[in-house]
Amino acid sequence: MLYVIWEEQMTMTTTRRGLMSGAASLIALGLAAHSTQAADKITIRLSTPATETDQRAVALATIFGPAIAEFATYEPHYNASLFKQGTELEAIARGNLEMSIASAQELATILPEFSIFTAGYLHRDAEHQKKVFAADFMEPMKKKVEDELGVKLLAVMYLGRRQLNLRIDKEIKTPADLAGVKLRMPGSEAWQFLGKALGASPVPMAFTEIYTGLQTGAIDGQDNPLPSNRDSKLYEVTKQIVLTSHLVDLNYIAFSKKVWDRLSPEQQATVQKAADAAAESGRQKQLALEVELEQFFKDKGLKVYTPDVDAFRTQVQKAYLESDYAKTWPEGMVDKINAL
Ligand code: KDO
């Protein structure tokens, strides 16, 4: 099993071809490892770059895990300690992992149409995200993820509104003020695009490296929702938070289809209910924290202010609508999303 995990961590490319090639032997190893576990209980390992105190992690550990305990052991791994950020979906597809908190950006590296959910200023809020996930037009997209990746998207989790968080003093009012600012964005192309659309110079870097990146000055800033900023103590190494709210960010509870298919209909219903309950609890906690934390950061001595959000929205939306990403979006979907 150690070999399998190591192999996965070394593999960063997520092309479809990559997913297919060499998969058989890894799957065989993965299955062999699982068959050595207690015959009557499945072990569901979650790999995430999130901290243990992240509200999505807390909700899964306190609600999801206990709810499925009769037939499964929930085993979370935090801080990307099991799989590197961005390699989790591939790991599930290969049969080496059972669960992750997947981003639309990760899905978009494999299924380009998911880039629609990486577009800045598209989702309005947490409720809108929920409605979009439950909408009929999501069904073919969810099915494609199941058929092509062997991943079941159980529920949408609210990560929060992404805000700029900088170690430099310069006041940021409009995208032009971000010219030349080295803004850390997560690894994939879709994230780099968002950084550019905001007017910054994006730098790809894993979540777990942000603190050091800010501390050493390798980057001028990062963007994340306020709760993630607090959990990872990024406020210790930054001076300001600019409330751009440029992405109402989501993650999906991604579950191995292979494991799902081994469950009885009753167990499947329990897993689905548990995922929905955890997502809802996490969502409410994140929303409450976003309100509370503005004062927390001010108390820590950071400047927290709202820029010209219209200027950011106009520039970012234009960049997406004119991009190659937009060509991959299902016909009429932006209008359907906006109409919800
Ligand atoms: C991040 O790397 O900035 C990000 O916020 C991206 C999200 O999609 C998600 O992966 C998140 O990190 C992790 O869950 C850590 O909170």
Measured by CA distance, the residue closest to atom 14 of ligand 1 is 50
Q: Is residue 163 in contact with ligand 1, taking CB distance under 6 Å? A: no
Cβ atoms of 1 and 33 closer than 8 Å: yes
Q: What is the pLDDT along the chain (340 residues), one digit of tens a residue?
A: 332 332 333 333 333 434 434 444 444 444 444 443 446 899 999 999 999 999 999 999 999 999 999 999 999 999 999 999 999 999 999 999 999 999 999 999 999 999 999 999 999 999 999 999 999 999 999 999 999 999 999 999 999 999 999 999 999 999 999 999 999 999 999 999 999 999 999 999 999 999 999 999 999 999 999 999 999 999 999 999 999 999 999 999 999 999 999 999 999 999 999 999 999 999 999 999 999 999 999 999 999 999 999 999 999 999 999 999 999 999 999 999 999 9
Amino acid at 109: T
Q: Is residue 54 in contact with ligand 1, taking CB distance under 6 Å? A: yes
Amino acid at 209: E
Amino acid at 246: H
Q: Cα of 186 to ligand 1 centre, how many Å?
A: 7
Measured by CA distance, the residue closest to atom 8 of ligand 1 is 103
Burial class (CB in 10 A: 0-12, 13-18, 19+), 207: buried
Cβ atoms of 265 and 272 closer than 8 Å: no
Residue that is written with structure tokens 């503005």 in the block: 294
Question: In the prediction, which pLDDT does 103 show?
Answer: 97
Q: Cα of 314 to ligand 1 centre, how many Å?
A: 25
- Distance (Å, whole) CA 76 – CA 101: 11
Amino acid at 312: F
Which of 207, 226, 233 most suits a substitution to test ligand 1, by most atoms within 8 Å of the C-beta? Answer: 207
- Distance (Å, whole) CA 89 – CA 76: 15
Which of 159, 183, 233 most suits a substitution to test ligand 1, by most atoms within 8 Å of the C-beta? Answer: 159
- Distance (Å, whole) CA 261 – CA 153: 14
Q: Is residue 228 in contact with ligand 1, taking CB distance under 6 Å? A: yes
DSSP3 helix / strand / coil % (the chain, rounded to 5): 55, 20, 30
Q: Is residue 88 in contact with ligand 1, taking CB distance under 6 Å? A: no
Beta strands in the chain (DSSP E): 42-47, 72-77, 99-102, 151-166, 182-185, 201-204, 221-224, 240-256, 303-305
- Distance (Å, whole) CA 184 – CA 167: 12
- Distance (Å, whole) CA 20 – CA 265: 29
Q: Is residue 83 in contact with ligand 1, taking CB distance under 6 Å? A: no
DSSP output for 174-243: SGGGGTT-EEEE-SSHHHHHHHHHTTSEEEE--GGGHHHHHHHTS-SEEEE-HHHHHHTTGGGG--EEEE
- Distance (Å, whole) CA 44 – CA 319: 40
The SS3 assignment for 301 reads: coil
Q: Is residue 224 in contact with ligand 1, taking CB distance under 6 Å? A: yes
Which of 82, 85, 214, 231 most suits a substitution to test ligand 1, by most atoms within 8 Å of the C-beta? Answer: 85
Provide CB contacts within 8 A for 183, sequence distance 6+.
Answer: 164, 195, 198, 200, 201, 202, 203, 219, 220, 221, 222, 223
Amino acid at 139: E
DSSP output for 80-107: TSSS-TT-HHHHHHTTS-SEEEE-HHHH
The SS3 assignment for 254 reads: strand
Provide CB contacts within 8 A for 215, sequence distance 6+.
Answer: 237
Q: Cα of 233 to ligand 1 centre, how many Å?
A: 14
Measured by CA distance, the residue closest to atom 6 of ligand 1 is 186
Q: Is residue 103 in contact with ligand 1, taking CB distance under 6 Å? A: yes
Q: Please name each of the domains of the chain with its CATH number.
A: 41-167+190-339 (3.40.190.170)
Residue that is written with structure tokens 């009429």 in the block: 332
